[in-house]
Amino acid sequence: MKIRYAAKTDVGMKRTHNEDYFSLIEDEQLFMVADGMGGHASGEVASKMAAETIGEFFQRTREDEDATWPYKMDRSLSYVENRLVCAIKLANLRIFETSCRDLRYKGMGTTIVTTLVLGDKIYVGHVGDSRVYRVREGAISQLTRDHSLLEDYKEAKPDMTEEEERNFPHKNVITRALGMRETVQVDIRAHQIKSGDIYILCSDGLSGMVVDDQIGQIAGGAKSLERAVAELVDAANRNGGTDNVTTLMLQCLAA
């Protein structure tokens, strides 16, 4: 697959500093968005640390196939899935140990959402409420499940109305993040790619401000990926921009 991509991050309209972070490793076709949290700018440290640790693990295991992995392989997952899960778990451990060792970073954490393109498959790994969307033939679908109190409540109450969802008092509480505990459960899934697919990685500064259908319309209707990510950030800010907003978009085309 030939991959085109573009990304943009913005502090938003209400925050004074940006705790989001995005990264990509082009020769691995690995893309990441992280949304940090914690006082005194430690969220910035956590989100960057997550992306850098994942990138370093991929580089090390590419250069040395016999390198020792810090976690056992899960026999129910493929080698590719294990590699991505192990990298995310290692990032979690590094953030957790840093927050325990240095009081400046106590309580810091971050979400992480990653996509890895290999052949005609895209592997999606995530922890937290940052999302991956796919736009295929004009239709948008969410490929990740938010690790949030709201999502748990919706599963327990499937008939929850849109008004109840809007007024839910703890909608920003996440139930899983990197750095909160020594270990973390990573959701991982592989999806078949169709030529023309657009994949959108984003922090909740986008998904919480712009409805899914509008995200899909902007992504599918813009003249370029660069224009699309700029329009998505602008839309989030027009709707209030209450959080940092980051979007990384990639389009997969037949080689």
Could you give all domains of the chain from N- to C-terminal order, each with its CATH number? 2-253 (3.60.40.10)
The residue written with tokens 């712009």 in the block is 210
Please check whether residue 138 is in contact with residue 216, taking contact to mean a CB–CB distance below 8 angstroms: yes
pLDDT of residue 75: 96
pTM of the model: 0.96
Q: What is the C-alpha R_g of the chain? A: 18
pLDDT of residue 64: 85
Task: Tell which residue, 32, 244, 236, 229, has the closest CA to residue 127.
Answer: 32
Q: Which residues pair with 198 in a beta bridge?
A: 135, 251
pLDDT of residue 198: 98
Per-residue pLDDT tens over the stretch 198-213:
999 999 999 999 999 9
HSE (side-chain half, CA atoms, 13 Å) at 17: 11
Please check whether residue 36 is in contact with residue 110, taking contact to mean a CB–CB distance below 8 angstroms: yes
pLDDT of residue 253: 95
pLDDT of residue 70: 92
Helix H, strand E, coil C: the string for the chain is CEEEEEEEEECCCCCCCCCEEEEEEHHHCEEEEEEEECCCCHHHHHHHHHHHHHHHHHHHHHHCCCCCCCCCCCCCCCHHHHHHHHHHHHHHHHHHHHHHHCHHHCCCEECEEEEEEECCEEEEEEECCCEEEEEECCEEEECCCCCEHHHHHHHHCCCCCHHHHHCCCCCCCECCCECCCCCCCCEEEEEECCCCCEEEEECHHHHCCCCHHHHHHHHHHCCCHHHHHHHHHHHHHHCCCCCCEEEEEEEEECC
pLDDT of residue 217: 98
pLDDT of residue 255: 79
Regions of the chain with pLDDT less than 70: none
